[in-house]
């Protein structure tokens, strides 16, 4: 399905960097939360916003990598407001702990970037009983969003960003087969298929948010950062690591890989273009187009899956 035409000229392309994107954008003072910010394109995303005087909070599991990143930023931007808060997205309990700590210290949230991702090389079931990649890429970040929603709605022109992937073209999800077993297989399954399904779900969640939260002033975007960028997302898949190393001279740098994320999060001209799918800093063809019925069904099923594993006081984000 062809994307809609835009009413402005293209300023950036596949060679643009996150640093270039923010040269003429005003993000000073904005509060930005970036999941998975301690590695890969998350690092470049954190650096870009921190160096432009945004208040950046980023998550991850590697404390040493996070501290190294903060020290690096402080060298070039001594007064940067950048903080690390660890969270394990393989645990809904830890997501809740993080969310409660975050909401206790922050009153508003301007930009949320769901950048954290996992490509499972082997079939792993989390402590919550779900397939690991699907929990990290979808369930845990949706659960977190429920806690963040009140802070997001207090901001002016807030944006929610899902770093998806063109792998979504390999998805097997449809209205006719949608089930918990399809989203989170209990038995061994192809890792690339699970990754594709989780990335497709991220696009659908973004579409749902735009439909149901757009009237509240929220804009949501999903995007493809680039192919085979040398990140840690395939750390559990040896073939993926080999391919990333082999094609590294021909793929985007981390700063270029973060460019579309930063463009969706900060570009003024995108204020009225939420709900779309982006690549190379431009609107892209979403392989499956807009699917509001499927987006609604996936959202509701994911919330049902979360509700089954968390305390009874969980408030669904659709409410």
Report the 3 state secondary structure along the chain: CCCCCCCCCCCCCCCCCHHHHHHHCCCCCCEEEECCCCCCHHHHHHHHHHCCCCEEEEEECCHHHHHHHHHHHHHHCCCCEEEEEECCCCCHHHHHHHHHHHHHHCCCCCEEEECCCCCCCCCCECCCCCEHHHHHHHHHHHHHHHHHHHHHHCCCCCEEEEECCHHHHHCCCCCCCCCHHHHCCCCCCCHHHHHHHHHHHHHHHHHHHHHHHHHHCCEEEEEECCCCCCCCCCCCCHHHHHHHHHHHHHCCCHHHHCHHHHHHHHCHHHCCCCCCEEECCEECCCCCCCCHHHHHHHHHHHHHHHHCCCCCCCCCCCC
Domain assignment present for 159? yes
pTM of this structure: 0.92
> Which of residues 187 and 265 earns the better pLDDT score?
265
Domain assignment present for 84? yes
Dump pLDDT digits (tens) for 97-122.
999 999 999 999 999 999 999 987 67
% of the chain with per-residue pLDDT over 70: 89
105: domain CATH number is 3.40.50.720
What is the per-residue pLDDT for 122?
78
Total structural domains within the chain: 1
Domain assignment present for 5? no
What is the per-residue pLDDT for 316?
61
Which residue range forms the structural domain that includes residue 202? 18-307
Question: With contact defined as beta carbons under 8 Å apart, do 101 and 87 qualify?
Answer: no
What is the per-residue pLDDT for 240?
52
Mean per-residue pLDDT for 178-204? 91
* Catalytic site positions: 195
Q: Would you place residue 247 in the very low, low, confident or very high pLDDT band (cuts 50, 70, 90)? A: very low
Q: Kindly state the tokens that stand for 14.
A: 């596949």
Dump pLDDT digits (tens) for 264-288.
999 999 999 999 999 999 999 766 7
Domain assignment present for 112? yes
Q: Would you place residue 1 in the very low, low, confident or very high pLDDT band (cuts 50, 70, 90)? A: low
Mean predicted lDDT score pLDDT of the chain: 91
**Range among 68-82, 117-131, 185-199 with highest mean pLDDT value:** 68-82
Domain assignment present for 7? no
Dump pLDDT digits (tens) for 10-44.
999 999 999 999 999 999 999 999 999 999 999 99
Q: Would you place residue 188 in the very low, low, confident or very high pLDDT band (cuts 50, 70, 90)? A: confident
Q: Kindly state the tokens that stand for 41.
A: 């394109």
Give CA–CA dist 198/189, Å, rounded.
13
Decide if pLDDT at 250 tops 50: no
> Which of residues 1 and 154 earns the better pLDDT score?
154
% of the chain with per-residue pLDDT over 90: 79
Decide if pLDDT at 166 tops 80: yes
């Amino acid at each position: 399905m062809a994307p809609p035409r835009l009413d402005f000229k293209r300023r950036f392309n596949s060679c643009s960097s996150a640093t270039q994107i923010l040269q003429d954008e005003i993000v000073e003072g904005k509060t930005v939360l970036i999941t998975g910010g301690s590695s890969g394109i998350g690092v470049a995303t954190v650096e870009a916003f921190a160096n432009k005087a945004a208040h950046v909070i980023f998550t991850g599991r590697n404390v040493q990598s996070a501290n190294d990143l903060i020290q690096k930023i402080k060298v070039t931007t001594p007064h940067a407001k950048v903080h690390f808060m660890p969270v394990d997205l393989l645990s809904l309990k830890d997501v809740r702990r993080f969310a409660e700590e975050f909401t206790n210290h922050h009153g508003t949230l301007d930009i949320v970037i769901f950048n954290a991702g996992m490509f499972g090389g082997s079939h792993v079931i989390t402590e919550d009983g779900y397939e690991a990649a699907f929990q990290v890429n979808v369930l845990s970040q949706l659960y977190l969003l429920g806690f963040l929603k009140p802070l997001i709605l207090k901001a002016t022109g807030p944006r929610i960003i899902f770093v998806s992937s063109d792998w979504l073209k390999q998805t097997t999800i449809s209205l006719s087969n949608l089930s918990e077993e399809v989203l989170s297989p209990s038995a061994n399954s192809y890792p690339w298929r699970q990754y594709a399904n989780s990335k497709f779900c991220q696009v659908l969640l973004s579409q749902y948010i735009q439909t149901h939260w757009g009237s509240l002033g929220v804009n949501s975007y999903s995007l493809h950062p680039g192919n085979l960028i040398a990140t840690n997302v395939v750390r559990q898949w040896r073939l993926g690591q080999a391919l990333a190393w082999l094609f590294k001279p021909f793929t985007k740098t981390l700063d270029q890989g973060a460019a579309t994320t930063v463009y969706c999060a900060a570009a003024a001209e995108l204020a009225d273009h939420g709900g779309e799918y982006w690549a190379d800093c431009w609107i892209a063809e979403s392989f499956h187009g807009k699917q509001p019925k499927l987006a609604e069904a996936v959202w509701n099923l994911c919330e049902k899956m979360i509700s089954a594993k968390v305390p009874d006081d969980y408030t669904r984000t659709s409410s």
